[in-house]
Amino acid sequence: MDEPVLGIAMNGVTGRMGTRQHLIRSILAIREAGGVVLPDGSRVQVEPILVGRTEQKLRDLAAAHKVERWSTDLDEVLADPSVAIYFDAQVTSAREAAVRKAIAAGKHIYAEKPTATSLAGAVELAKLAEAAGVRTGVVQDKLFLPGLLKLKRLIDGGFFGRILSVRGEFGYWVFEGDWQTAQRPSWNYRAEDGGGIVVDMFPHWHYLLEGLFGRVDAVTARAVTHIQQRWDERGEAYAATADDSAYGIFELAGGVVASINSSWSVRVFRDELVEFQVDGTEGSAVAGLRRCRIQHRATTPMPVWDPDVAEPQPFRSQWQEVPDNGFPDNGFRVQWERFIRHVVAGTPFPHDFMAGARGVQLAEAGLESSRTGCRVELPELGAQ
């Protein structure tokens, strides 16, 4: 018997991240592997339908990857009964209206974050989807990175004892665009277009903190625009109106304090573009995208502060590498497979639209804290 085929409308995947991670490394890789294995051992195959605004980009992308269907007419695609899932990776400012259409069409929805440009909009989308009986999911890919999977293993195994604090460093130098091409699109640096590192990264920090350490109860943050002029894709100068750096302190349930620096205006002097140090009573760990290193209390050295002599301790070499214990698949693909199982078989999927709304809530609270200079508490929106 032929396997069932799940039509997936993919809106906004002509961009770098959408093409590489969601189309090629997730949906097309799943298609090549014969579909998603369901809990009962059967399979469901996937068929992408590319959606976007520019016909030539869609035509070229479809031809390059043997995708038969594409369209610039979202309404027509959503009216197709063979389409079961709508995926949105558009710019944030366009997402809310498109997701509303998908909800009205009765499609299950998987979306990049943030799900809306405001907390009110994100909560309303979650409630509309629930009332319509459609299943929702939000991309929370960093939970599935090898380094953070190792960190989760340490937490689950009780390695840290009582966790005290989390310190995060994320970022790299994004060139201004005048003498070297910028690595990120210009809209990222215009607040009027939905740009800014707080609205981009704080939703990531929310699901990581919530998923690994506990609920985020309050935030104190400072958002800054360090580079105030940049050059766009046409080589024209423009004013950068969105924050490119943010410095946040996050208070978590249970007393854990997390501090995370995020910046597109920092030069990297660390092993990976993002690293988190977790300190506990029994041990510490430093986790990045792929690596994770630990130091147990029994092997912790005893430094002595002496500014008059060279430091004798080789601190980095005193940490132990955490083994892979397996080779996890691409994090985007893993989450796609879990969402498809959720849609088809009803398996649990905690990363729904209300989880996405909590990420938007943290971003809004961070910006409010930066404007007012005050600590901002986060009331509960829904079940954790």
Write out the CATH class of domain 142-326+360-377: alpha beta
pLDDT-derived band at 79, boundaries 50, 70, 90: very high
Of 239, 242, 263, residue with least CA distance to 195:
242
pLDDT-derived band at 2, boundaries 50, 70, 90: low
Find the DSSP H helices in the chain: 16-17, 29-32, 55-64, 74-78, 92-104, 119-132, 146-156, 197-212, 331-345, 353-372
In angstroms, the CA 332 to CA 335 distance is 5
Residue 231, SS3 per DSSP: strand
Q: Domain map of the chain by residue range?
A: 5-141+331-352, 142-326+360-377
What confidence tens digit (pLDDT) does each residue in 88-140 have? 999 888 999 999 999 999 999 999 999 999 999 999 999 999 999 999 999 99
What confidence tens digit (pLDDT) does each residue in 156-172 have? 999 999 999 999 999 99
pLDDT-derived band at 152, boundaries 50, 70, 90: very high
CATH value of 5-141+331-352 in 3.40.1710.10, 3.40.50.1400, 1.10.10.10, 3.40.50.720: 3.40.50.720
Global pTM? 0.93
Edge-to-edge strand ranges of the sheet holding 283-287: 320-321, 292-296, 283-287, 274-280, 163-171, 257-263, 245-252, 216-224, 376-377
